[in-house]
């Protein structure tokens, strides 16, 4: 029932977003920031399909285990903590893509149509970009969780993070529609690598040669965030105190 409700909600929000973008493009004369009606529809439905797998609405499991002290047991296990949760993230992402992402995408394809890539390599690069997007999103979300080592409550930080991610990732609107100053800020963050890049690659809006550069940016952010998350985990482990032990 929850999955069915998620599909229904995801589809309805897709129609709402598509109607808003169509209105903006229609007012602009049929093209806005390099997006036609069909490209905008593709952007919307791919965004709806990828949001849950990539964001997964930020699991708070790690931060809760830190506050409860259960993280001490996790750290004693022979499996690396980050690797364990990354594997879980990939499993959840695969399920959410199949169960809640593909159905709205099919509905969108039937109702508004989709712009498909002209080059077959775009599909392969799109799959790689999607995996990297999930990885970057996981590492950024893990850093929010690991802040629990130093913060009594992380819910406020989570709300700010999710709002910032939805805006700067390009989920709400393509970042190329931003004013120059906001576009510069967005491109200086890892957030476009989570939504904008995989959508542009999967849709074929950017050719394979340009997509390779964007994937390189994703790899760079994945490396930076992995080092930062590992450093936070190591520092938090040294400072961890559990009452009674």
Domain boundaries, the chain: 1-244
- 50, 101 contact by CB (below 8 A): yes
What Cα–Cα distance (Å) separates residue 143 from each residue in 83, 217, 231, 232?
Answer: 14, 19, 10, 7
**Whether residue 208 has pLDDT greater than 80:** yes
Q: What is the pLDDT of residues 119-161, one digit of tens each?
A: 889 999 999 999 999 999 999 999 999 998 888 888 889 889 9
Q: What is the pLDDT of residues 170-206, one digit of tens each?
A: 988 999 999 999 999 999 999 999 999 999 999 988 9
Q: How confident is the model at residue 71, as a pLDDT?
A: 78
For the ranges 88-92, 97-101, 189-193, the one whose mean pLDDT is highest: 189-193
pTM here is 0.90
For the segment 107-127, the average pLDDT, to the nearest whole number, is: 91
Helix runs in the chain, H state only:
2-27, 37-55, 61-68, 71-76, 81-96, 102-111, 121-146, 155-168, 180-187, 196-203, 208-239
């Amino acid at each position: 029932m929850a999955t069915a409700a998620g599909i229904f909600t995801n589809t309805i929000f897709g129609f709402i977003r598509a109607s808003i973008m169509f209105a903006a493009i229609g007012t602009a004369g049929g093209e806005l920031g390099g997006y036609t009606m069909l490209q905008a529809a593709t952007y919307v439905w791919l965004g709806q399909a990828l949001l849950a797998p990539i964001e997964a609405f930020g699991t708070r499991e790690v931060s809760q285990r830190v506050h409860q002290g259960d993280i001490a047991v996790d750290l004693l296990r022979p499996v690396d903590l980050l690797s364990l949760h990354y594997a879980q993230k990939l499993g959840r992402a695969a399920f959410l893509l199949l169960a809640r992402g593909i159905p709205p995408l099919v509905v969108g394809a039937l109702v508004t149509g989709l712009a498909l890539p002209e080059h077959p390599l775009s599909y392969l690069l799109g799959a790689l970009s999607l995996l990297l997007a999930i990885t970057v999103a996981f590492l950024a979300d893990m850093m929010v969780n690991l802040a629990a080592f130093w913060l009594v409550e992380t819910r406020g930080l989570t709300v700010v993070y999710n709002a910032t991610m939805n805006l700067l990732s390009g989920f709400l609107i393509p970042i190329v529609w931003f004013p120059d100053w906001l576009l510069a800020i967005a491109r200086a963050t890892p957030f476009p690598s989570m939504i904008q890049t995989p959508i542009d690659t999967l849709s074929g809006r950017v050719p394979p040669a340009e997509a390779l550069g964007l994937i390189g940016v994703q790899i760079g952010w994945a490396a930076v965030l992995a080092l930062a998350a590992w450093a936070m985990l190591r520092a938090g482990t040294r400072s961890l105190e559990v009452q009674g032990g």
